[in-house]
Structure 1
Amino acid sequence: MNVRRSLLGLTFCTCYLASHLTNKYVLSVLKFTYPTLFQGSDVLIWLPASALFVGIIYAGSKALSRLAVPVFFILHNVAEVLTCGYQKCVWKEKTSLSKICSALFLLAAAGCLPFQDSQFDPDGYFWALIHIFCVGSYKILRKSRKPTVLSDIDQQYLNYIFSMVLLAFASHPTG
């Protein structure tokens, strides 16, 4: 037991030292002098998308725990109907007839699904609706903010960090 604690402490110290040495290398040798104030403004602009990402994770997990996997996937794909409708109605983009028909068939299939589901769970469908809204809104927001300073990897990194922190703090009160 004592050796295990010592090994854990040594691992922590090694990681702590390695992170500081890496930080020093990036700041000194690589001359990384981009002010963090300006980095933060881009991060703040991306926070609504990160909040939607957390909604995708949380609502999707709740819905998936209550619905069958095929039902969840059918409902998950309805988010494409939201993005297609937004592109057509708000952005006035030309949308092919086949894409519109596909979206309408998908919407009709998802609309009929609760009536044919032998294991119907209203809470599962409620969480699926929230999940659909979050996925669709995230896709719309991501397309509308394409010319951004943050790369796709930076956006995903921020999403993961934001979701990890928010879900860690929310895990205890929400069960």
Structure 2
Amino acid sequence: MQWRRHVTGLAFSLVFVVSYFTNKFVLSVLNFTYPTLFQGWQTFIGAILLIVSGKLGWVEINRITRSAALSWFPGSLLFVGNIYAGSRALSRLDIPFFFTLQNCSHAVSYMIFKVIRREKTQWLKFISLCFMLLSAINLPFYDPQVDHSSYLWAVCHLACVGAYRVFQVHHKSVSLSDLEQQCINYLFSVLLLAVAAHPTGDLTGALEFPSLQSHTFHCGCCASALLGFLLRLATVKLKSGLSFEHFGVWIFLSKVTAMLLSPFIFSVNSNASSLLCVVVSHVGEALLIYSERDSQV
């Protein structure tokens, strides 16, 4: 029924906003800038909750074969790059700026699809991607507190997001559901991030972190892990019940809601020019969703 779709969409938006706000709080307000440990903790809890949910029959997860897991290995690498670089960027970028840069992942996907499929150019889609790309390119010049390293991490993040989107489309397999793919991502991420924790210096830095014994820090980390897991479940549930176009609408609405509420929760440093970049980027995203009403990417 239609009302059930709306309830699912609203639940997704709520989890989306609270999840990003919680991550931003831990990364920026508490200043826990150790992404191998932060994302390792999130993926570890996510893996446990997903496996337990499968064992209890709450979600459907079948036995994953070794060949299926190996075939999904490139996707897991992109997933790790996505969450690691995303944490680095989100820790120093305001949420509206982060989403403006993240929108460029659509341009990355489009360029890869263009090479692979050699499709005819849809001009409305091309114009929308230009809006997003130009906004992201100009944003660092107008950001009042520009941090070049955060923008470099954001570029890595959007590249991984865009490439992962393409990989999902071109490696659809009847042997792996979305949740099974996510389970592989979680398990691989835990392994890789655990190995990387010491060489990156995150382990040493975290042991000396001033708020390590703080209840606020513990609650924030636990909430971020649980919300990250719930967001994955909500995403799969929403995608399974909606068309690609309507799923994109809920993503767009969730991002706009997060951006509008973020100044009430966090300190946002902006000016008219940087806000114009944000607005133009999301106008471009709205046009992209409109252009895809009759086709899927």
TM-score range (shorter-chain normalised) is 0.7 to 0.9
- State whether structure 2 residue 93 is matched by structure 1 residue 61: no
Normalised by the size of structure 1, how large is the TM-score? 0.74
The correspondence for 1:79, drawn from 92, 102, 105, is 105
Aligned match for 1:142, one of 161, 168, 172:
168
Aligned to 1:47: 73
> In the aligned structure 1, how far is the partner of 2:165 from the partner of 2:120?
18
The two structures have a TM-score, normalised by structure 2, of: 0.45
Alignment of 1:11-26 (within 5 A): none
Aligned partners of 1:66 and 1:123 also within 8 Å: no
CA offsets per residue over residues 31-79 of structure 1, 9 Å max, x none? x9x8x8xx10111010111011011010000111121211111111100
RMSD: 2.1
| Residue type of the alignment partner of 2:183 | Y
State the match for 1:114 in structure 2: 140
SS of the aligned residue for 2:145 comes to coil
Map of 1:156 onto structure 2: 182
Aligned mate of 2:192, from 150, 157, 166: 166
**Secondary structure, in 3 states, of the residue corresponding to 2:198?**
helix
1:101 to 111, 117, 127: 127
Distance (whole Å) between structure 1 residues aligned to residue 128 and residue 185 of structure 2? 30
Secondary structure, aligned partner of 1:172: coil
Measure how far apart 1:114 and its partner are. Answer: 0.7
The percentage of counterpart residues that share the same residue type is 45
**Corresponding residue number in structure 1 for 2:257:** none
Moved more, 163-172 or 53-62: 163-172
2:89 maps to amino acid: A
Question: How far apart in 1 are the matches of 2:83 and 2:193?
Answer: 9
Q: Which runs of 5 or more residues in structure 1 are unaligned?
A: 1-18, 23-31
The alignment status of 1:133 with 2:133, answered yes or no, reads no
Hey, what's the Cα distance between the residues in 1 that align with 2:95 and 2:113? 28
Larger Rg: 1
Name the count of aligned residue pairs: 142
Greater RCO, 1 or 2 (C-alpha within 8 Å, sep 6+): 2
Deviates more, 1:130-139 or 1:91-100: 91-100
Secondary structure, aligned partner of 1:71 = helix
Give the corresponding residue for 1:26.
Answer: none
Secondary structure in 2 aligned to 1:109? helix
